[in-house]
Amino acid sequence: MSLTIHHLHVSSSERVVWLCEELNLSYKLKTYTRSPLLAPPELKALHPQGSSPTIQDGDLTLAETGACLEYIARKHGGGRLLLDPSHLAYADFIYWFHWASGTFMPNVGRVMMMGFAGLGAENSMVGFTNDRLQKALRMLDDRLKDNQWLAGEEFTAADIMVVFPLTTMRYFARYSLQGFEHVAGYLKRVAEREGYQRAMRKCDPEMELVLGVEPPSKPFV
Residues 86-115 within binding reach of ligand GSH (CB under 6 A): 101
Upstream peptide bond of 36 is cis (omega within 30 degrees of 0): yes
Candidates 180, 161, 179, 166; CA nearest to 209 is: 166
Cα–Cα dist 162/199, whole Å: 16
Which of 17, 52, 81, 195 is the binder for ligand GSH (CB under 6 A)? 52
- Minimum separation from the CB atom of position 86 to ligand GSH (A): 28
Residues 6-25 within binding reach of ligand GSH (CB under 6 A): 8, 11-12
Residue 197 φ/ψ region, left for φ over 0, alpha for ψ in the -120 to 50 degree band, beta for the rest: alpha
65 counts as binding ligand GSH under rule CB under 6 A: yes
Q: How many residues bind ligand GSH (CB under 6 A)?
A: 12
39 counts as binding ligand GSH under rule CB under 6 A: yes
Candidates 180, 52, 188, 172; CA nearest to 108 is: 172
Helix, strand, coil distribution of the chain in percent, nearest 5:
50, 10, 40
64 counts as binding ligand GSH under rule CB under 6 A: yes
Between residues 8 and 144, which has the closer beta carbon with respect to ligand GSH? 8
- Minimum separation from the CB atom of position 129 to ligand GSH (A): 18
| Residues lying near ligand GSH in the complex (CB under 6 A) | 8, 11-12, 38-39, 51-53, 63-65, 101
